[in-house]
Structure 1
Amino acid sequence: MLEVAGLRAGYGETEILRGIDLAIADSEIVALLGSNGAGKTTFNAVLSGLIRPSAGRIRFDGADIAGSDPATIVKAGLVQVPEGRHVFPNLSVKENLELGGYRRGRERRSHNIERVLTIFPRLRERMAQKAGTLSGGEQQMLAIGRGMMSEPKLLVLDEPSLGLSPMLVEEMFALIGKLNEEGLTILLVEQNVRQSLDIATRAFVMENGAIGLSGPADDLMRDPQLQRSYLGI
């Protein structure tokens, strides 16, 4: 589904990504882990076409998308749910969802809204409510639902647990696991290492713009280096 090889990118003369290699197979859930400043946000921006790479290859669903514009990438089916949710606060829940299908999936908008509301039934009760008045957890559900309106082949979730209570974090990871069980390919970009590894097939750990560790999620959970650096064991 996604193959990234030798990816380098940054801002001006400052290189942030230093040769990233990463691959995701169809129907997998892959975690990209790392602390603040590791380069995860820059990687997401390059993947979505917001930053042009200086070197390397990005192949998505068989096509080279490195350097493509964001609209083309979304139309191809690579959809990102950004960190911080970024819902349109003055628009209703329904309007936010409808905008999610602007570039892709427009002709199946009603069907896709019903699918989102089945997965996130709490949103059904709030369809006419302004998005800015929702709780943090509800806004995260709306952000993911809005992403699903584009019928993604690969959904990139950037820090979906950020700012949520422990109970809502548990609920959010359970919902992400359910989406993957239904066949959706997911790249989960997170600082929450333990719960990400609980639901991921494989994982990559980014440090200083490079991949420091990678492998099956179960193996990484037992890796002494990851335990010391991220789990405090």
Structure 2
Amino acid sequence: MSDTLLEISGLRGGYGAVEVLRGVDLDIASGEIVALLGSNGVGKTTLSSILTGLVSCWGGAIRFKGREIQKLSPRAIIDMGLIHVPEGRHIFPNLSVRENLELGSYRRGRANRAKNMEHVVSVFPRLSERFDQKAGTLSGGEQQMLAIGRGMMAEPELLILDEPSIGLSPLLVEEMFELITTLNGEGLTILLVEQNVLQSMEIANRAFVMENGAITLSGTSAELMDDPELQRSYLGLV
């Protein structure tokens, strides 16, 4: 497709002698929410880590904005606008909310820091109420908002959200998915890496299902919701 922002072809990778990804193909068009779905341990986080240069690529190609990035450093990938909000949030607990957000623009977006900060707190108003509070004292939901807000400070062109709903109450999960929809409505392209199949499919344009390091199903959310294999394996409906 002509507006493809990210294209992954034949991607392989792993740790030590263990191959985790076995020829993954995936693409994301500008302006989409694409969900990468699968249970724990199938390779979703490994894929995110390879995309951002934290884990080496063994084979295949990753093209972001038409440029191959699989051999670039994490810093170079960030500078291009591919930003990762990792699983587990990884905020700095002893720094304030404001300081955590400011660190998000350390590599990219520094010139527009004040403007971007205003945008973040307009999306997550609770953070403005806690600017001088240590991040480690926030609730789990607030910490997730902070992690996403920190990613937004880097002016992402593609934002990878890795398990943003993990550890949250059902009410906060609902709120988190609504916020993701809001960000996408503002034009942000999102790769949503999740185990929460139903709610991810409700907001995603397309989805890819991963099992054992390979993509086993892909299509629009509507197509996959009608797929008997997805219903049997992930939703327990048939």
Bin of the TM-score, shorter chain as denominator length:
over 0.9
What is aligned with 1:222?
226
Q: Does 1:33 align with 2:37?
A: yes
Q: In 2, Cα distance between the equivalents of 1:41 and 1:187? A: 12
Cα offset for 1:232?
1.3
Cα offset for 1:176?
0.2
What is aligned with 1:12?
16
Match of 1:166 among 163, 170, 184: 170
4+ residue runs of structure 1 moved beyond 4 angstroms? Answer: none
Match of 1:187 among 185, 191, 194: 191
Counterparts in 2 of 1:40-51, with a 5 A limit? 40-51=44-55
Q: In 2, Cα distance between the equivalents of 1:2 and 1:217? A: 19
Counterparts in 2 of 1:71-220, with a 5 A limit? 71-220=75-224
* TM-score with structure 2 setting the length: 0.97
Tell me the secondary structure at the aligned position of residue 150 of structure 1: coil
Tell me the secondary structure at the aligned position of residue 83 of structure 1: coil
Q: Does 1:54 align with 2:58?
A: yes
Deviations 1:146-199 (A, max 9, x none): 000000000000000000000000000000011001100000000000000000
Q: In 1, Cα distance between the equivalents of 2:64 and 2:225? A: 28
Cα offset for 1:39?
0.5
Amino acid at match of 2:170: P
Tell me the secondary structure at the aligned position of residue 193 of structure 2: strand
Q: In 2, Cα distance between the equivalents of 1:11 and 1:167? A: 36
Count, aligned residues:
233
Amino acid at match of 2:189: T
Cα offset for 1:67?
1.9
Cα offset for 1:11?
1.1
Tell me the secondary structure at the aligned position of residue 21 of structure 1: strand
Q: Does 1:231 align with 2:235?
A: yes
Deviations 1:55-99 (A, max 9, x none): 100000111101211111011000000001111000000000000
% same residue: 69
Amino acid at match of 2:115: H
Amino acid at match of 1:93: V
Cα offset for 1:222?
1.4
Indicate the RMSD between aligned Cα atoms, in angstroms. Answer: 0.5
Tell me the secondary structure at the aligned position of residue 217 of structure 2: strand
Q: In 2, Cα distance between the equivalents of 1:15 and 1:34? A: 17
Amino acid at match of 1:36: N
Give unmatched runs, 5+ long, in structure 1.
Answer: none
Amino acid at match of 2:50: V
* TM-score with structure 1 setting the length: 0.99
Q: In 1, Cα distance between the equivalents of 2:142 and 2:131? A: 12
Give unmatched runs, 5+ long, in structure 2.
Answer: none
Amino acid at match of 1:181: G
